[in-house]
């Protein structure tokens, strides 16, 4: 099951998995795009708004009714907003928390018992480098992605030896409609945006290999490690170079 499948990373992932022979359960809010993707890939369209508290429950029930089980969850639905935190609209903040953070936790809670019973499954969470090092004027977004990273880390310990794997994919800027939808174009020189297909490649690797933390591009793992080992040094570098 792939959330956010109607565009961007979710769409690219759905296409790759369908080409690899997976039956894909496609979720998003754009029914027309989902239907078109389902027609092209042989997947099943399950439109749902994960910004609503009961959206994950409805989606999980629809997926299980449609396919009987979910062997892999790719939680790629996400929203962004850029600007001073004090000026973040309250409804925007609420939706960031629901879609980026609460919805993946709720979906995992609903689908994990079946995976544990079968002793087989993959949970792939789409984080962000922003959730590893923080980004100026993206405090709310970075907080949701940082929380998701700690959820993945904690769940990884819990599920060791169960047959269910937890994967965290950590892209930098990605060339998708994400920035148009957040209302502010991408304005930084670094990191340069990568393609959605490149992130989808990492998602598939998370499902089919034992790699549990994947940075896209790979070099983003270096600033994340510097931030973890020497946060003061990282902040001085970030303040100077952006």
* Tokens (6 digits) for 152: 């993945």
pLDDT value at position 165? Answer: 97
pLDDT value at position 239? Answer: 80
Residue 128 backbone phi and psi in degrees, to 5: -165, 150
Could you give the maximum distance between any two Cα atoms of the chain, in Å? 53
72-76, 212-216, 234-238: least confident range: 234-238
pLDDT value at position 181? Answer: 67
24-78 pLDDT, tens digit per residue, is: 999 999 999 999 999 999 999 999 999 999 999 999 999 999 999 999 999 999 9
What average pLDDT does the chain have? 93
Active-site residue, selected from the candidate residues 141, 157, 186, 215: 141
β-strand partners of 26: 2, 45
Residue 25 backbone phi and psi in degrees, to 5: -105, 115
104 has pLDDT over 70: yes
The model carries a pTM of: 0.91
Nearest Cα to Cα of residue 62 among 80, 76, 81, 49: 49
Question: CA 139, CA 97: separation in Å to the nearest integer?
Answer: 12
Domain 2-241 has CATH 3.40.50.720: yes
242 has pLDDT over 80: no
β-strand partners of 215: 170
Catalytic site residue 157?
no
Question: CA 192, CA 32: separation in Å to the nearest integer?
Answer: 31
pLDDT value at position 235? Answer: 87
Sign of the torsion formed by the C-alpha atoms of 210, 216, 219 and 225 = negative
DSSP class of residue 33?
H
Determine contact, residues 95/51, Cβ cutoff 8 Å. Answer: yes
Determine contact, residues 106/56, Cβ cutoff 8 Å. Answer: yes
53-67, 103-117, 228-242: least confident range: 228-242
Residue 169 backbone phi and psi in degrees, to 5: -105, 130
Residue 215 backbone phi and psi in degrees, to 5: -90, 140
Sign of the torsion formed by the C-alpha atoms of 44, 45, 50 and 53 = negative
171-201 pLDDT, tens digit per residue, is: 998 887 676 666 676 667 667 888 999 999 9
Domain ranges in the chain? 2-241
pLDDT value at position 180? Answer: 64
CB neighbourhood size of 51 (10 A): 19
Span 135-160, average pLDDT? 96
Span 122-134, average pLDDT? 95
Cβ-based neighbours of 144, under 8 Å, separated by 6 or more? 96, 97, 100, 101, 131
């Amino acid at each position: 099951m792939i959330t956010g499948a109607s565009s961007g990373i979710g769409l690219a992932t759905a296409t790759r998995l369908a080409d690899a022979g997976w039956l894909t359960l496609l979720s998003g809010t754009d029914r027309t795009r989902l239907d078109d993707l389902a027609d092209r890939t042989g997947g099943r369209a399950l439109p749902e708004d994960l910004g609503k508290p009961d959206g994950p429950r409805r989606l999980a029930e629809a997926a299980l009714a449609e396919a009987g089980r979910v062997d892999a969850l790719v939680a790629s639905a996400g929203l962004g907003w850029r600007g001073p935190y004090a000026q973040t609209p309250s409804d925007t903040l609420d939706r960031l928390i629901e879609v980026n953070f609460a919805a993946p936790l709720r979906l995992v809670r609903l689908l994990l018992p079946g995976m544990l019973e079968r002793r087989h499954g993959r949970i792939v969470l789409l984080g962000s480098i922003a959730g590893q090092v923080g980004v100026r004027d993206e405090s709310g977004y970075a907080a949701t992605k940082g929380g998701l990273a700690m959820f993945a880390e904690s769940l990884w310990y819990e599920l060791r030896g169960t047959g269910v794997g937890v994967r965290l994919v950590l892209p930098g800027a990605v060339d998708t409609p994400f920035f148009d939808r957040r209302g502010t174009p991408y304005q930084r020189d670094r990191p340069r945006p990568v393609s959605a297909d490149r992130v989808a490649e990492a998602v598939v690797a998370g499902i089919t290999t034992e790699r549990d933390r994947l940075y896209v591009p790979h070099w983003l793992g270096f600033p994340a490690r510097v931030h973890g080992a020497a946060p003061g040094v990282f902040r001085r570098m970030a303040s100077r170079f952006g």
